[in-house]
Amino acid sequence: MSGRRRIAFVVPDLQLGGAERQVVDLVNHLDHERFEATLFTFEAADDLGAAVDPRVRRVRALRRSRFDTGPVDQLARLLREERTELVHCTLQMALLVARGAIHRSGRGLPLVEAIHTTQNRGRRLELADRLLYVPLMSGCDRVITVCDAQRRFWASKYPALRPKLVTVPNGIDLDRYRDDVPAARKAALRRELGVEGGELVLGMVAAIRPEKNHAGILEAAARLAEGGHRVKLLFAGGAPDPRDEERLRRRTRELGLGERVRWLGSLRDPRELISILDAGILFSTAESLPLALLECLAMGKPVVAAAIGGVSEIVVPGENGLLVAPRDTAAFASAVARLAADRELLRGLSARARPSVEARFSVQQMARRTEAVLEEVLDGRAGARAGRRARAAAAPQEDIRRRA
């Protein structure tokens, strides 16, 4: 189909992660009448590969070692042969590969970077940002952040990026995330997980990493148990460092929580689990715009969360959930106790949960907003080229007038 804008989307891999899911959702929901998308990956993980729309061309150029430049060369060749008009990359490593490929292609293509992190997890990553990735981002045409809090954070920390930053909120597939799990399946799953009648069932779908603060939730659960509240905690998510999960399991035993807490590991599809929750929870110490909250809300589950990063852009207290101060374990326990004691409040929050996501966070809205950014960059580049041609054409005439 002629006339479509040719865009190369670059992401390291398609592992089961939030940023990777957003890339797949984005390329799947582009207006394919107007955009021709190629999805380029260079690491082995491909859990989400089968979910990519067949209208999207896939190119995998796997790195053989840490310093293998093969993917850069292959992407550069693709940019030349496909006459790509713009490169969109997600995550910092993809930016490094994309920038190298654009340089080697000799085409000076516009570049848009989407960042999903706010605060780094360690000094090494912080140093990499300062010395490598921020200078690379300064050369981008636009840098997309996923929430206003993240945009403000990066603009404050690196003022040179401020003119480049634009917010495109995360979006989720509302057709996929709806509570249509059969009642019989829900009942069976509750039995499998040992959920008893009268328990308030809370759950979190998140990797076990320090900033997710599972430990703080366990401390809050101990407070709730002491107060006589019957609460069940269901944690889904793998542990990049198995020692983190071992410490949490040990702390669960030390607090005497026993069967009140279940560790379910990584789930390819969390929808059935979410369907049996009374509410979703998140008590992170660092966040951008967490998909886990959007998924719960889309399935009609209110959330109790720490007001960190872009969480307050999702959760409206008393409307679709409850917010507490970050790291305030007592406040978190109190908010959960409030839901346990006031089922009318819980029902009201549940009824308003999905509409709150439909209004602002659909994947279609994310795709249209991203398309607008891409077209703005492309049109701006085209306008700049036209201006240069006009000035070049006018230069000889101006020279003649001067001589006359």
Q: Render each residue's pLDDT in the chain as its tens digit; 404 residues.
A: 458 999 999 999 999 889 999 999 999 999 999 999 999 999 999 999 999 999 999 999 999 998 899 999 999 999 999 999 999 999 999 999 999 999 999 999 999 999 998 877 678 878 888 888 999 999 999 999 999 999 999 999 999 999 999 999 999 999 999 999 999 999 999 999 999 999 999 999 999 999 999 999 999 999 999 999 999 999 999 999 999 999 999 999 999 999 999 999 999 899 999 999 999 999 999 999 999 999 999 999 999 999 999 999 999 999 999 999 999 999 999 999 999 999 999 999 999 999 999 999 999 999 999 999 999 999 997 766 655 555 565 655 566 566 65
CATH number among 3.40.50.2000, 3.10.580.10, 3.40.1010.10, 3.65.10.10, domain 5-173: 3.40.50.2000
* Integer Cα distance of 312 and 300 in angstroms: 18
**pTM of the predicted model as reported, rounded to 2 decimal places:** 0.90
Best CA proximity match to 141, nearest among 86, 60, 178: 86
Strand 165-167 and strand 200-205: pairing?
unpaired
DSSP string, 361-390: -BHHHHHHHHHHHHHHHHHHHHHHHHHHHH
Quote the distance between the C-alpha of residue 359 and its chain's center.
18
137, 161 contact by CB (below 8 A): yes
Domain spans of the chain, in order of start: 5-173, 183-358
Question: Which residues make Cβ contacts (< 8 Å) with residue 376, sequence separation at least 6?
Answer: 142
> Do the domains at 5-173 and 183-358 have one common CATH topology?
yes
The CATH superfamily assigned to 183-358 is: Glycogen Phosphorylase B; (3.40.50.2000)
Structure tokens at 324: 């507490």
